[in-house]
Copies of this chain bind each other. A is one copy, B any other.
Amino acid sequence: MPRENKDRRPSLRLKAVEIDTYRENVAYLHRNCSLYRAEGFQALSKIELHHDGRRILAVLNVVDDENIVGPGEIGLAEQAFAQFGQPEGAAVEVDHASPPASMEAVRRKMAGDRLSHEDFIGIARDIRENRYSKVEIAAFLVAVSQTGLDRDEILHLTRAMLETGERLEWDEPLVADKHCIGGIPGNRTSMLIVPIVAAHGMLIPKTSSRAITSPAGTADTMEVLARVELSPEELHEIVRRHRGCLAWGGTARLAPVDDILISVERPLGLDSPEQMVASILSKKLAAGSTHLLLDIPVGPTAKVRGMDQALSLRKRFEYVGDRLGLHLEAVLTDGRQPVGRGIGPVLEARDVMQVLEQDPDAPEDLRQKALHLAGRIIEFDPDVRGGQGYSIARDILESGRALARMNDIIDAQGRNPDPPAPGRLTFEITADKPGYVAAIDNYRMARIARLAGAPLSKGAGVDLLRKVGDRVEAGEPLYRVHAEVPAEYRFAREFATRDSGYRLSPEPVEPFIPMDF
């Protein structure tokens, strides 16, 4: 190697730089490195590193601190270093890089072309291998969101994301799953559906996310009660024993391309329906699900605002699901307000346990919605007659079997010995006139709960005291806000006082409708 290098460009010593650049390969060169000046590299240039037959693409950052990299070194951020797989000190050659081969397809998409399955496979592979910079990923996402994807392109993209990741195998003919497209605070039906469906004997290995922009994800709420960060082995063992789990899905490497796309999509505020379909279905199929019930809330402050939009989204899910062998049913649900009473991890966990414990104060809308959805999943069971699912689900809940199963799952995952309480700093927002609650703004309620500290402060959040259809008199409380920190209390109070988020009507309003309204 040293001999061969004599008549080549000077090589640089490889160094690991302990910076996590989240699946973008970043390389660090010192500003006084001769190669940096000579090659006309600039910060942001894409470069290629070679050593011992291996090569890797990376985006360049220029360093002025010799403690990070010295003039004779080339640094690689954590994941790039791991992917390159060469030892520190290796003599690495560095060159300008060409864009990844599949960028040619991205350029065709920008020009308005339809892409083939092979195109999407090429793109997904190059993204998985970190050959795309964030900027190139953004170009792909914007091109897709602007030109749109027809339903076959959504199918190709879903399949490509699936084929470039790992896939769980459960060795069972029926693996049930449930997913909500999001946007409704307090919608913690999974924590009821899993124990009910598992108690019926069906396999439902549910993994969930933490909140990113919402006041609580299912993983945050379950964490009030039990440990959710499980190793793959623990997860399998719990599912084998109890037929279900409620774990955090962040550790699995399922559909990694989807994770990378989301990491760029989110800061851009891109949320195209095409991308949503491909993202959800690739993740569910990778998790080994065979049957999926999809919850699509519809309402003026939900993600899906109207019936036309809801039906067109449902058809796209069905089209792709059918062609990938996933039994999929999508139900449209009432999204005019948050579900249940609590918003925020502790308050939502309280609602869930009240339903399971058949507390007379349990929120009826959460109970009804969970029973309807669980019933539809139970009807995936070939031995259950159509229309019987709901009453089976109700029997399981009322017999206490759902509660028992939930306690088994909590104990198996690791019960929290000291669950947190609702935040002790509270205020109430009252009605300024009499009327019937016509709508409760989902965005605004989520925002108030986050300002109050959720999900960071587990006990922070909003407790809804009136729901759609309820009659209120002027001066009666609409909701109570809980916080743990004085500053957050003030932020939430200031925001909630400006606009309560409630819309009142002089006429009576139809209360919550569980499904397919």
Chain A positions within 8 Å of B, measured between CB atoms, are 7-9, 17-22, 24, 28, 31, 38-40, 42-46, 59, 61-65, 67-68, 77-78, 99, 103, 107, 110-112, 133-139, 141-143, 145-147, 210-212, 263-264, 267-270, 455-456, 485-487
Contact = CB atoms under 8 A, between A and B. Distances in A.
A142 B133 contact: no
A370 B99 CA distance: 35
A21 B45 CA distance: 11
Nearest to A22: B43
Contacts of A485: 7-9
Given A65-B19, A269-B107, A210 B133 contact: no
Contact of A17 (B65, B139, B142): B65
A306 B210 CA distance: 55
Given A31-B20, A68-B19, A211-B40, A268 B145 contact: no
Given A63-B20, A65-B19, A67-B67, A267 B43 contact: no
Nearest to A41: B212
A19 B107 contact: no
Contacts of A68: 18-19, 68
B20 A61 contact: yes
Nearest to A110: B146
Contacts of A103: 268-269
Contact of A62 (B20, B107, B133, B455): B20
A262 to B, nearest CB: 10
A394 to B, nearest CB: 36
Nearest to A268: B139
Give me the 6 closest cross-chain CB pairs, A-B, nearest first: A22-B43, A18-B65, A138-B138, A18-B64, A20-B62, A7-B486
Contact of A135 (B7, B46, B112, B135): B135
Given A68-B68, A267-B136, A40 B210 contact: yes
A64 B78 contact: yes
Contacts of A18: 63-65, 68
B64 A99 contact: no
A486 B4 CA distance: 11
A380 to B, nearest CB: 33
Nearest to A17: B65
20 contacts: A8-B487, A9-B485, A18-B64, A19-B64, A21-B43, A21-B61, A40-B455, A44-B134, A44-B264, A64-B78, A68-B68, A99-B267, A99-B268, A110-B142, A111-B146, A112-B146, A133-B267, A135-B268, A136-B138, A139-B141
**Copies of the chain in the assembly:** 2
Contacts of A62: 19-20, 22
Nearest to A269: B99
Interface centre among A7, A43, A212, A455 (most CB of B within 10 A): A43
Contacts of A8: 485, 487
A498 to B, nearest CB: 18
Contacts of A40: 210-212, 455-456
Given A38-B456, A65-B17, A135 B43 contact: no
Contacts of A264: 44, 135
A301 to B, nearest CB: 19
Contact of A139 (B31, B59, B142, B487): B142
A21 to B, nearest CB: 5
A7 B488 CA distance: 8
Nearest to A64: B18
Interface centre among A45, A99, A142 (most CB of B within 10 A): A142
Contacts of A9: 485, 487
B65 A43 contact: no
A323 B475 CA distance: 61
Interface centre among A42, A99, A112 (most CB of B within 10 A): A42
Given A8-B487, A20-B43, A135-B268, 20 more contacts: A7-B486, A9-B487, A18-B63, A18-B68, A19-B63, A19-B65, A21-B61, A22-B43, A22-B44, A22-B62, A38-B456, A39-B456, A40-B212, A44-B267, A64-B78, A135-B264, A136-B138, A139-B270, A146-B146, A146-B147
A45 to B, nearest CB: 7
Nearest to A35: B456
Contacts of A107: 269
Contacts of A110: 142, 145-146
A331 to B, nearest CB: 29
A59 B21 CA distance: 10
B139 A64 contact: no
Contacts of A21: 43, 61
A461 to B, nearest CB: 15
